[in-house]
Amino acid sequence: MNFAEVLVEGKILKRYKRFLSDIQLENETIITAHTANTGAMTTCWAPGWQVLLSLHDNPKRKYKYSLEMTHNGQTWIGVNTMLPNKLAVEGIENGVIAELQGYDSIQRESKIGDSRLDLLLQKSSERKSPEKCYVEVKNVTLLGDNKTALFPDAVSTRGQKHLATLTEIAKGGDRAVMLYIVQREDVNCFSPATSH
């Protein structure tokens, strides 16, 4: 995936109020960046870590910078939780995610019941209704023991709701998929986090 914006380098000083981070840019200027990540971001940042920011010229934005990635000295970690959906769509369209191939269309933000799932893949068919595959995408950034990527990094009632919705979809005969996008390279396996 390529960023549309030019990325700006800096060092993170602190994160607070869940959505804000203070960053020192290369020219020593300290700015506040929007941080699109509601999780705890455990193992994803510490004061002084190198970061990459996107810069936005939208006059309606309060904060011009968005935190995109942090670097722990070994690897970049994708902390912007808005990116995994884009990565998933790109991976499906480019044939990278083999398990989600063979569908004719991708619809984002599909409402089902009182839930909104990230993707709806549909396959045309001779039948009255098309084959459907509902996909919920999750960003995985938590580093556990033995180079294990873990999810979630905090208790998530929203995540539990998505699992319940996917279970009902599968019981109803459609395909239901939870897709975990691991956004760090210092891991070699994935596991559900059991300590929450």
CATH number at residue 14: 2.40.50.580
Task: Tell whether 24 is covered by a domain.
Answer: yes
Task: Tell whether 1 is covered by a domain.
Answer: no
CATH number at residue 120: 3.40.1350.60
pLDDT given for residue 196 in this prediction: 53
Q: What is the DSSP letter of 28?
A: S
Is this model's pTM higher than 0.85 or not? yes
pLDDT given for residue 154 in this prediction: 81
Domain extent, residue 173, equals: 83-192
Cα–Cα separations (whole angstroms), residue 184 to 45, 47, 88, 135, 141: 12, 19, 15, 21, 6
How many domains are there within the chain? 2
pLDDT given for residue 99 in this prediction: 95
Whether residue 120 is found in the same domain as residue 64: no
- Which run of H or of E encompasses 21? strand 20-25
Whether residue 98 is found in the same domain as residue 171: yes
| Total Cβ atoms within 10 A of residue 104 | 11
Q: Tell me which of 23, 47, 76 is where a domain ends.
A: 76
pLDDT given for residue 28 in this prediction: 96
Whether residue 129 is found in the same domain as residue 182: yes
Cis status, amide bond into 152, omega within 30 of 0: yes
Whether residue 30 is found in the same domain as residue 87: no
Whether residue 168 is found in the same domain as residue 107: yes
Whether residue 177 is found in the same domain as residue 96: yes
Q: Tell me which of 24, 52, 76 is where a domain ends.
A: 76
Separation CA 6–CA 28 (nearest Å): 19
pLDDT given for residue 1 in this prediction: 65
Whether residue 110 is found in the same domain as residue 166: yes
DSSP for 92-144 reads HHTT--GGG-S-SEEEEEEEETTEEEEEEEEE--SSSS-EEEEEEEEEE-EE-
Task: List per-residue pLDDT tens for the chain, 196 residues long.
Answer: 666 667 999 999 999 998 999 999 999 999 999 999 888 899 999 999 999 999 988 899 999 999 999 999 999 999 999 999 999 999 999 999 999 999 999 999 999 888 899 999 998 876 556 699 999 999 999 999 999 999 988 887 877 888 999 999 999 999 999 999 999 999 999 999 887 5
pLDDT given for residue 40 in this prediction: 86
